């Protein structure tokens, strides 16, 4: 298992994480799934679901296996259980007991990441950050009851606001190849609606590219939800691209986005854990989402670098995907940030070493004019 730091939090987590939403089995099955995940090296769990049974089953499993101190938990603030059903709320009279219940059921006195739950409207984000809700979050942070502050959202416009706010240290955001082509929306259902097929023809939306760049530059970590698009990407009939992707291919796409630390995968059986962690030992061809998308009947990635790595190897030793990623990030600023320039220079071989042999271009599934882009990068970074 590979591990990454979530932004500047200092928390090192497995790049494959555990999204607890679908873990609704018996206590015995839950313990078996948690044990399998732990054996595979997984050490991060997202707990947004307010259902007391699932909370208790997961909390008991971590306690019984002696894993609480070894695992990083994303615990949500604002996800409550009212009248036997889930209710998202900002009413502190409901938020506080729900969060206290989460601590009790996980046999702990802290959450590693205190997540401001499910903010998809920009206006709501502003209200939260100027009102009593954030004051409660600050109290929890000051007391050590939450160690770091995060926020979950599906809307890149809200995510950009969060990434620009130094008080928000990381975000839980919905990322997959299809969502990256869909425009910002305040209604999550829109991401699964009829617009999906059309969005596959429209190309990556600028606000998502800008979000990833902002997070990378600000040190705001990202953990990923909806990485499989609810399983729709596994079936050509429901995929907006008209072709099916595998779990490994989806994970590779998400883990190659800037600032991403971990993908929260939903498990209900040990076999689901195995399918996800197969990513760690998968070959380059098994991880290859780019070739699949390039041959898809519907996609708009032509001419866009997706950092897939097909261009390698370079005879001059240039990490072309990394250069393209830094170039794309840098072009979002009026002046190249010093930190980004240093990351670029640390590559060793830079775009200036390109001899324009264009061998890489014949290998690119999306027809990127790589030599031209190397020339632009060399000019932009000055080396």
pLDDT range class, residue 196, cuts 50, 70, 90: very low
pLDDT range class, residue 127, cuts 50, 70, 90: very high
Q: What is the pLDDT of residue 186?
A: 52
Q: What is the pLDDT of residue 199?
A: 46
Q: How many CB atoms lie within 10 A of CB 58?
A: 24
Task: Of 189-193, 341-345, 353-357, 358-362, give the range with the top mean pLDDT.
Answer: 353-357
Q: What is the pLDDT of residue 201?
A: 42
Mean pLDDT of the chain: 89
- Whether the per-residue pLDDT at 43 is higher than 50: the answer is yes
Q: What is the pLDDT of residue 322?
A: 86
Region 44-60: mean pLDDT is: 94
Q: What is the pLDDT of residue 321?
A: 86
pLDDT tens digit sequence for 66-112: 999 999 999 999 999 988 888 889 999 999 999 999 999 999 999 99
Place of tokens 């390698």: 312
* Percent of the chain scoring above 90 in pLDDT: 62
pLDDT tens digit sequence for 304-350: 777 777 788 899 999 998 898 888 878 867 788 777 787 788 888 99
- Whether the per-residue pLDDT at 300 is higher than 60: the answer is no
pLDDT tens digit sequence for 199-255: 444 455 778 888 998 999 899 999 999 899 878 889 888 787 888 999 999 999 999
Q: What is the pLDDT of residue 162?
A: 96
- Whether the per-residue pLDDT at 367 is higher than 70: the answer is yes
Read off the pTM: 0.79
pLDDT range class, residue 124, cuts 50, 70, 90: very high
pLDDT tens digit sequence for 259-270: 999 999 999 899
Q: What is the pLDDT of residue 352?
A: 95
pLDDT range class, residue 133, cuts 50, 70, 90: very high
- Whether the per-residue pLDDT at 182 is higher than 70: the answer is no
Contact 154, 163 (CB under 8 A): no
Q: What is the pLDDT of residue 301?
A: 64
Q: Is 362 exposed, middle or buried (0-12, 13-18, 19+ CB in 10 A)?
A: exposed
Range of weakest confidence among 15-24, 82-91, 357-366, 369-378: 357-366
Region 45-58: mean pLDDT is: 93
Q: What is the pLDDT of residue 325?
A: 82
In sequence order, what are the residues at sequence separation of 6 or more whose Cβ sits closer than 8 angstroms to the Cβ of residue 2?
14, 15, 280
Cis bond before residue 48 (omega within 30° of 0): no
Range of weakest confidence among 52-66, 100-114, 163-177, 194-208: 194-208
Q: What is the pLDDT of residue 197?
A: 46
pLDDT tens digit sequence for 28-41: 999 999 999 999 99
* Percent of the chain scoring above 70 in pLDDT: 92
In sequence order, what are the residues at sequence separation of 6 or more whose Cβ sits closer than 8 angstroms to the Cβ of residue 238?
231, 232
Q: What is the pLDDT of residue 203?
A: 54
- Could you give the CA distance from residue 167 to residue 75 in angstroms, rounded to a whole number? 17
């Amino acid at each position: 298992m590979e591990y990454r730091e979530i932004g500047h939090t200092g928390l090192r987590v497995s790049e494959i994480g555990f999204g607890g939403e679908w873990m609704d089995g018996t206590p015995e099955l839950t313990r078996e799934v948690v044990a399998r995940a732990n054996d595979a090296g997984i050490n991060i769990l997202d707990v947004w679901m307010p259902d007391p049974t699932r909370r208790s089953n997961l909390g008991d499993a971590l306690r019984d296996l002696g894993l609480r101190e070894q695992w990083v938990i994303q615990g949500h603030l604002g996800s409550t259980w009212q009248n036997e059903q889930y209710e998202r709320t900002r009413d502190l009279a409901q938020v506080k007991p729900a969060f206290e219940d989460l601590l009790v059921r996980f046999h702990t006195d802290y959450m590693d990441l205190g997540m401001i739950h499910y903010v998809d409207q920009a206006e709501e984000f502003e209200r939260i950050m100027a009102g009593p809700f954030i004051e409660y979050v600050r109290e929890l942070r000051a007391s050590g009851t939450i160690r770091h502050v995060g926020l979950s959202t599906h809307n890149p416009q809200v995510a950009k606001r969060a990434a620009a706010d130094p008080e928000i240290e990381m975000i839980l955001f919905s990322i997959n190849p299809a969502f990256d082509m869909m425009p910002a929306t305040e209604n999550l259902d829109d991401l699964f609606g009829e617009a999906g097929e059309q969005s596959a023809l429209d190309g990556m939306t600028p606000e998502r590219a800008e979000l990833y760049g902002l997070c990378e530059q600000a040190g705001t970590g990202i953990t990923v939800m909806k990485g499989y698009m609810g399983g729709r990407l596994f079936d050509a009939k429901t995929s907006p691209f008209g072709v099916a992707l595998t779990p490994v291919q989806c994970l590779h796409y998400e883990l190659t986005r800037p600032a991403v630390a971990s993908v929260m995968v939903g498990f209900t059986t040990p076999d689901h854990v195995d399918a996800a962690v197969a990513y760690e030992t998968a070959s380059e061809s098994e991880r290859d989402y780019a070739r699949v998308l390039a041959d898809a009947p519907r996609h708009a990635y032509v001419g866009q670098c997706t950092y897939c790595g097909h261009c390698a190897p370079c005879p001059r030793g240039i990490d072309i995907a990394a250069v393209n990623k830094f170039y794309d990030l840098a072009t979002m600023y009026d002046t190249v940030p010093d930190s980004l320039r240093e990351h670029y220079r640390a590559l060793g071989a830079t775009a200036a070493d390109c001899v324009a042999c264009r061998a890489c271009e014949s290998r690119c599934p999306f027809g990127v004019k790589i030599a031209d882009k190397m020339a632009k990068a060399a000019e932009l970074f000055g080396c």
